[in-house]
Amino acid sequence: MKPPTLTLALLALTGTASSECSHAFLTNAAALYVAAQRDGQTASYASANITYTENDVPVNITSGILARPLKIDRATSYHDTTLCASFTELIITDPASPFVIATRTVHDQSNKTATTIHSIVSKPGDWAFNATGYIRWENLEGEWGIISPSKRDSRATIQAAGDAYFDHFNDTTVKVPWAAACARIEGGAYTDSHGYGNNTCDSAVPGGNVVRNRRYVVDEAHGVVSIFVGFPRLDGTAPDKAVPDSHLFRVEGGRIRYVHTVSACFTAGCGWVGDLPP
């Protein structure tokens, strides 16, 4: 049964009439989403006119992952007051049912109801999946703290950094603004596992791979852009089929410092063995 405090909070949240989409509202909404996932309670969302997908497939919210109580070991959220949207990353290390879940939630600006919840739900068998490794490397990186106003990049600069990353897969002449020290988590694997502290994010790609269906959450205060995409060629058994994918970028001084990825394969390991796919 849902705790009364959560029920009342959700009712208050969906009844908000102010047209302003504030950081406080989004922070509260994200906390309520995390609580709903922890308790496996969907009632407050199921009654709304909401688009709910898991791995880019429409799902009845009452039978999806949100209806399943999960012991959440780490929850991190970033907020976009321009789009009235939040990105939330959940790490569940329970050996019986581990998950790494990336969720993009969009709210109606006028009445503050959640209109869209897109989740990438990764589990054993997905690309480089290792929830224990994921949380280990995140703990090593530490919190992506708030950047002082004088040093913050513009929204356009932050988003452009993430777009350059994906554009490079199609046109290899596009320069990705890597930081001198850059590290990437992929499913649970870490590119700088030896702690060299240099740019371990960059890798050669063949080009000609157009990454479409980009959906954004930009948090200027944290220098973060979340981009949900369909990623062709990631699954070797279905190269023309776009894999549901989430990339989270931390941008500092216009350059990419960290990348976190969550991908949901069509086949075990996305059909690849050994190195990253092209």
pLDDT at 15 over 60: no
> What 3 state SS string does the chain have?
CCCHHHHHHHHHHHCCCCCCCCHHHHHHHHHHHHHHHHHCCCHHHHCCCCEEEECCEECCCCCCHHHCCCCCCEEEEEEECCCCEEEEEEEECCCCCCEEEEEEEEECCCCCCEEEEEEEEECCCCCCCCHHHHHHHHHHHCCCCCCCHHHCCCHHHHHHHHHHHHHHHHCCCCCCCEEEEEEEEEECEECCCCCCCCECCCCCCCCCCCCEEEEEEEEHHHCEEEEEEEECCCCCCCCCCCEEEEEEEEEECCEEEEEEEEECCCCHHHHCCCCCCC
Is 3.10.450 the CATH number for 4-123? yes
pLDDT of residue 13: 52
Q: Return mean pLDDT, the chain.
A: 91
pTM for the structure as a whole: 0.91
Is 2.60.120.20 the CATH number for 143-271? no
Residues 97-131 have pLDDT tens digits of 999 999 999 999 888 899 999 999 999 999 999 99
pLDDT at 9 over 60: no
pLDDT at 64 over 80: yes
Domains 4-123 and 143-271 equal at CATH topology level: yes
pLDDT at 60 over 80: yes
Residues 71-104 have pLDDT tens digits of 999 999 999 999 999 999 999 999 999 999 999 9
Q: Where are the chain's structural domains? A: 4-123, 143-271
